[in-house]
Amino acid sequence: MRLAFLFPGQGAQAVGMGKSLYENSDRVQDIFNQAQDILGYNLLHLMFEGPSETLMQTQHAQLAIFLVSYALSQLLESEGVAPQFLAGHSLGELTAYGAASVLSFSDLLSLIKVRGDAMAKASVQAGMAAVIGLSEQDIQEVLSHSPVVIANYNCPGQLVISGHLEAIQQLTPLLKEKGGKVIPLKVSGAFHSPLMEKASVVLKEYTASLHLKNASCPIVLNRTGKPEVLSGSLKENIALQVTSSVQWINSISFLKTQVDGFVEIGPGKVLSGLVKKITDTPVWNMSDLDTFKEALVHFK
């Protein structure tokens, strides 16, 4: 079976994430403990015990989601299940870099820490909101004279806008007048918008000295919805990605022509739901040890 592995981004975090994996898998325990040593702070306590308000902060959420997703991908690899393509939503794209051996685990963890810190510093009175039930054209008409942008093209009828909180609040009644439903997201910044430019600069400087390898299998990039394997392009993408929109509809539309099934690997089931709204290609979810075992039987 030809598979595409998908990795989630922010919003997938929840208190208790990864705890059963840690307690029941020696391999996961080794990965988590190694991460603790590299990071130098008790991320596991935050993941397992909270508080939720702290875990939600981008500098912690990104590391936590990556860690659970990466550990699950390593378990899957140990079972001999390999993807033909990889993709990740926002942060998840960097998890895909790890699954494709573009960067070492320690380099990737350090990069995500820099990314999370830089994005947190760039996040001043800014946020995101999902807009349900409107077309791209309808939303663009409302945004046309505003600095707010469409950040995520998640699935037909579900797009995400990003910008200053005050501007989003001003636009919300106009979007509702057109028949849309507006749902503020539990994120701490205006990700994938021009407001992340300072974070992009930090990432460009930081990645300049990193050594990346060509991807072991193609990664379908958020910015383009197209596959990439070359290390130079993948390095350039790291800084560009935080200010660019997530072209998830285009990414899945391409992948559905290439694979027989999708596997969402990481906390939550958000991506599985989005895939089902784009295609009838089968999708399995691996978010913990139980769902990992349930899905694995389909690939062995």
What pLDDT does 299 receive?
87
Per-residue confidence (pLDDT) for residue 168, from 0 to 100: 97
Portion of the chain with pLDDT greater than 90, in percent: 94
Give the pLDDT mean for 34-46: 95
Contacts of residue 41, Cβ cutoff 8 Å, sequence gap at least 6 = none
Once rounded to an integer, what is the mean pLDDT over residues 8-13?
92
The pLDDT tens digits of the residues spanning 191-235 come to: 999 999 999 999 999 999 999 999 999 999 999 999 999 999 999
Q: Which contiguous run of DSSP H or E holds residue 150?
A: strand 149-155
Which of the residue ranges 95-99, 187-191, 291-295 would you say has the lowest mean pLDDT?
187-191
Question: From the candidates 69, 90, 188, 245, which is the catalytic residue?
Answer: 90
User: Which residue of the set 192, 200, 251, 287 is catalytic?
Assistant: 192
Mean pLDDT, rounded, for 267-271? 95
Whether residue 231 lies in the annotated active site:
no
pLDDT, tens digit, for every residue of 70-88? 999 999 999 999 999 999 9
Q: Report the predicted TM-score, pTM, of the whole model to 2 decimal places.
A: 0.96
Q: Which helix (H) or strand (E) holds 255?
A: helix 248-255
Angle formed by the axes of helices 105-121 and 58-78, nearest 10°: 160
pLDDT digits (tens, 9 = 90+) for 165-180: 999 999 999 999 999 9
Tell me which DSSP letter residue 205 carries: H
Annotated catalytic residue 192:
yes
Asked whether the predicted pLDDT for residue 123 surpasses 90, the reply is: no
In degrees and rounded to multiples of 5, residue 262 shows phi and psi of -115, 145
Nearest to 31 by CA among 59, 66, 6, 61: 66
Q: Please, which residues bridge with residue 264 across strands?
A: 6, 285
Q: Which is nearest to 66 in space by CA: 108, 127, 120?
A: 108
Q: Domains plus CATH for the chain?
A: 3-122+193-296 (3.40.366.10), 126-184 (3.30.70.250)
Confidence of residue 188 (pLDDT cuts 50, 70, 90): confident
The C-alpha angle 240, 87, 110, rounded to 5 degrees, equals 60
Checking if the pLDDT of 300 tops 80, the result is no
